[in-house]
Amino acid sequence: MSDNRLMIAVPRGALLKETLNLLDAIGVDTAEVRSNDRKLLFRDVGIITMRPSDVPTYVEAGSADIGVTGKDVLIEQGEREVYELLDLGYGGCTMVLASVAGDDPMEEARRRLGMMRIATKYPKIAARHFAATGRQAEMVEVKGSVELAPLTGLADGIVDLTATGTTLRENGLVVREEIVVCTARLIANPVSHKLKAAAIDELLERVRAA
């Protein structure tokens, strides 16, 4: 029943292009994936595509044997039982704490109100950062366009991932603290890691050589 072919979970979005380039370099045909951005399952080449934050879900359940996602996703979903096999090096981003330029509104909120409100898509990473630095903060979880929150008074600051800082600058935000640097990682389902060891190790070798 189960052959030795691997099903790979590929993240759409910022990591897609470099992930497909990597797969090409190790001999996986990604032409159909590149030419079709609505289709999700490419059974012939063993690829499924999804948003990066869903990759650990599919890999943990065994619906994909291996997958590529950001370290940010893996830290935020730290309870997922997956193997982290390799730092792929690309997709480098920094998780930062940012607020509007000028006098830091987070500082005033902390001093006068005792705690800050922080908008983020990464409530666990953000909460851990504030706990580790001994500050009280309330996490406001938003699903997208985090930069809007401090501009409208929803929050005093944001915790978000930034590659170049352009979006932050365009919205008048400045980085106050860097929390962690995140790159793309190759992950594996724990059962696949044992039952398809040869196929996974061979793929690892090709990725290392690519």
Partner 1 sequence: MSDATGTAPAGAPTIHPIPSGTRDVLPDEMRELRAITATALEVFTRAGYGEVQTPALEYEDTLARGDVRGAPPVYRLFDEQGRVLVLRSDMTVPIARLVATRFANAEPPLRLCYLAHAYRGVRPQRGQSREFLQAGIELVGAEAPGGTAEALTLLCDVLDAVGLADYRIGLGDVGLYQALLDGYGVEGAARERVLHELVTRDFVGLEREVAALGLDAEAAALLARVPQLRGGPEVLAGLDGQAAEAAEGMRSVYALLEPRVAERLIFDLGLVRSLGYYTGAIFQVYDPALGVPIGGGGRYDELLGRFGRPLPAVGFALNVERLHIALAGEERGERGA
Q: Kindly list the residues in this chain that would bind partner 1 in the complex (CB under 8 A).
A: 1-2, 7, 60-63, 65, 79, 81-87, 185, 189-195, 197-198, 201
Quick one: 11 or 157, whose CB is closer to partner 1?
11
**Amino acid letter for position 156:** D
Cβ closest to partner 1, residue 94 vs residue 171: 94
Question: Residue 24 has which token pair?
Answer: 């090409």
Give me the half-sphere count of Cα atoms (radius 13 Å) on the Cβ side of residue 199. Answer: 16
- Take residue 47 and report the two structure tokens written for it: 């690829």
- Among 164, 180, 208, residue whose Cα is nearest residue 14: 164
| Tokens linked to 27 | 């001999």
Alpha-carbon distance values, 40 to 37, 43, 138, 192 (Å): 8, 10, 37, 21
User: In the bound complex, what is the minimum distance in angstroms from residue 193's beta carbon to partner 1?
Assistant: 7
How far apart are CB 180 and partner 1 at their closest, in Å?
Answer: 13
Q: CB of residue 126 vs partner 1: minimum separation in angstroms?
A: 21
Q: Which is nearer to partner 1, 32 or 84 (CB)?
A: 84
Helix/strand/coil for 39: coil
Question: Comparing C-alpha atoms, which of 10, 187, 185 is closest to residue 83?
Answer: 187
Q: Single out the residue of 117, 80, 73 nearest to residue 95, CA to CA.
A: 73
In contact, 119 and 153? CB cutoff 8 Å: no
Distance in Å, CB of 123 to partner 1, minimum: 16
Task: Decide whether 89 or 172 has the Cβ nearer to partner 1.
Answer: 89
Which residue, 62 or 92, has its beta carbon nearer to partner 1? 62
The residue (of 49 and 99) whose beta carbon lies closer to partner 1 is: 49
Handedness of CA 134, 137, 142, 146 (dihedral sign): negative
Shortest reach from residue 131's CB to partner 1, in Å: 19
Kindly state the smallest distance separating residue 208's Cβ from partner 1, in Å: 12
Strand 137-141 to strand 173-182: parallel, antiparallel, or no bridges (unpaired)? unpaired
